[in-house]
A and B are shown apart, each in its own frame.
Chain A
Amino acid sequence: MSSSEAPEGARLVVIGASAGALQALTQILPALPVDYPLPILIVVHIPPDRRNMLAPLFQAKCRMAVREAEDKEPGLAGVVYFAPPDYHLLVETDGTLSLSSDEEVWFSRPSIDVLFESAADAYGAGVIGIILTGANPDGASGSKAIADAGGTVLVEDPATAYASAMPLAALQACGTARAMPLAAIANCLLKECAA
């Protein structure tokens, strides 16, 4: 019953996804137990006027608690936080979440690069960064930042992803990133990946 395991040394999971995100996340998040021992921060590219969709949608499917991130709240283990529409989401060194309305990155706010770079700064080797399906290069430089800081980068296999541009860009920018199907990514979050 108690499956509340995560890879050794991991302290934070960050996920970025764009076109096809809902399908892909549905293959991953519901697989995680209610007491999953890490916070999970997610950026999905969505239009700025779509208020509060993602958290209720996934709360209905997931055992973990799912919320839209609020400014300066502590990022807690066992909770999935979605970046709110029209704000960047960042994580501070003390684990609190920050929002910003700085300009768009790759035409996107929230931006995956902004989240991933802040995670690399704050948690270094303790970060697992995951790039899923998407049609633009957001997340590539953030993935590189995570890898450079000693963290782990997993990428949805471009061959089976709904949109391959984002996984391909991440793999190209980040030599140590590993491509794998969605089911394997979910598995990797639960225990040590087979190398």
Chain B
Amino acid sequence: MSDLIEDIEIRLLLEALHQRYHYDFRNYAQASIRRRLRQARDQLGFANFSALQEALLHDEAMLPRLLAYLTVQVSEMFRDPSYFRAIREKVVPHLRTFPSLKIWIAGCSTGEELYSFVILFREEGLEQRTLFYATDISQDALDAAARGIYSLDRMRTFTENHRAAGGKSSLSEYYRTAYGNAVLDQGLRDKVVFSDHSLVTDAVFGEMHLISCRNVLIYFNRDLQDRAIGLFRDSLGRKGFLGLGSKENIRFSSHADGFSDFARQDKIYQRREA
């Protein structure tokens, strides 16, 4: 069994992080958080979690260093191309009927998914009538998202994904290269609002037409997943759309009845009206 002392230490560390800095990871799925915390402990050079906790409580500089491990998110532009193809072919025709649109990329991390949406909406002629809300709990991630700079060696995968997602332009139109990086066109941010928001502790976020939150809920335990899915339902306008990661589902949520399948294979749901 997992070491009893280590279990106690992890609970205390997460409690300290919450009480001291109001970051609440207490209801994250345990197996992954334990793995990330062990990485942080080892790479930050602490003998055990109690020592890490002491440093965290007494040294504010430790907070961003620990958060970097806890909030790390790895994504790609147009990850799971069939998802973006379904957005383009099935969801966009509905969105066209609205004069203005609000889209929420929840847990946007370093922005790969956000810019995928902005480019897709530009290709479909919807960008000018849309506001994109990009939120994350990590300020460092939001800063990186706003910069929009990605290592050039990732662009090949991004380009292949974009094409497979039915891209109507060439991805190379949206970036220039500099020092081994791809620097995204600043104009892609014109309609984006970046904001610090927690799905764990913060409240409803406007009347959205589409919420995309992929591979964030897998890090939550079931109670927290339930809270987030309820929050999404309350944040969506009438018959709004919710897109999740390819292995996430709302089947185990108490809000499952609040949605209907819209594109089942691609995990796109539509708010069901009573």
Give A residues with C-beta under 8 Å from B: 69-73, 84, 87-88, 90-93, 96, 98-103, 114, 117-118, 120-125, 149
Complex CA–CA separation, A70 to B248 (angstroms): 7
For the complex of A and B, 5 pairs with smallest distance between CB atoms: A121-B2, A124-B1, A90-B31, A118-B31, A98-B29
Residues of chain A lying within 8 A (CB to CB) of residue B221: 72
Residues in B205-253 with C-beta less than 8 Å from chain A: 215, 217-219, 221-222, 225, 245-249, 252
Question: Among the listed A69, A71, A118, which residue makes an inter-chain contact with B35, where contact means beta carbons less than 8 Å apart?
Answer: A118
Chain A: CB-nearest residue to B160: A49
Residues of chain B lying within 8 A (CB to CB) of residue A114: 35
Complex CA–CA separation, A124 to B6 (angstroms): 14
Residues in B149-196 with C-beta less than 8 Å from chain A: none
Contact check, A92 vs B29: say whether CB atoms are below 8 A apart.
yes
Residues of chain A lying within 8 A (CB to CB) of residue B72: 102-103
Given contacts A92-B29, A118-B31, contact A71 B247 (CB under 8 A): yes
Is B74's beta carbon under 8 Å from chain A? Answer: yes
Complex CA–CA separation, A122 to B1 (angstroms): 6
Residues of chain A lying within 8 A (CB to CB) of residue B246: 84
Complex CA–CA separation, A123 to B247 (angstroms): 24
Task: With A96-B222, A122-B2 given, name 13 new contacts (CB 8 A).
Answer: A71-B248, A72-B225, A90-B35, A98-B29, A98-B218, A100-B32, A100-B35, A102-B35, A103-B74, A120-B2, A121-B34, A123-B1, A149-B2
The residue among A70, A88, A101, A114 with the most chain B CB atoms within 10 A of its own CB is A101
Complex CA–CA separation, A92 to B73 (angstroms): 20
Distance in angstroms from A129 CB to nearest chain B CB is: 15
Tally B residues with Cβ within 8 Å of A.
Answer: 26
Q: Is the interface of B mostly helix, strand, loop or mixed?
A: loop
Complex CA–CA separation, A24 to B102 (angstroms): 51
Complex CA–CA separation, A71 to B36 (angstroms): 18
Contact check, A124 vs B218: say whether CB atoms are below 8 A apart.
no
Given contacts A99-B218, A102-B74, A103-B74, contact A117 B248 (CB under 8 A): no
Complex CA–CA separation, A145 to B32 (angstroms): 16
28 A–B contact pairs at CB < 8 A? A69-B247, A71-B217, A71-B218, A71-B248, A72-B221, A72-B225, A72-B252, A87-B247, A90-B35, A91-B31, A92-B30, A98-B32, A100-B35, A100-B219, A102-B32, A102-B35, A102-B72, A103-B72, A103-B74, A114-B35, A118-B35, A120-B2, A121-B31, A121-B34, A124-B1, A124-B2, A125-B1, A149-B2
Complex CA–CA separation, A98 to B33 (angstroms): 11
Complex CA–CA separation, A87 to B248 (angstroms): 11
Contact check, A90 vs B32: say whether CB atoms are below 8 A apart.
yes
Distance in angstroms from B217 CB to nearest chain A CB is: 7
Distance in angstroms from B220 CB to nearest chain A CB is: 9
Distance in angstroms from B239 CB to nearest chain A CB is: 26
Distance in angstroms from A84 CB to nearest chain B CB is: 5
Contact check, A100 vs B2: say whether CB atoms are below 8 A apart.
no
Residues of chain A lying within 8 A (CB to CB) of residue B32: 88, 90, 98, 100, 102
Residues of chain B lying within 8 A (CB to CB) of residue A123: 1
Given contacts A90-B31, A122-B2, contact A101 B215 (CB under 8 A): yes
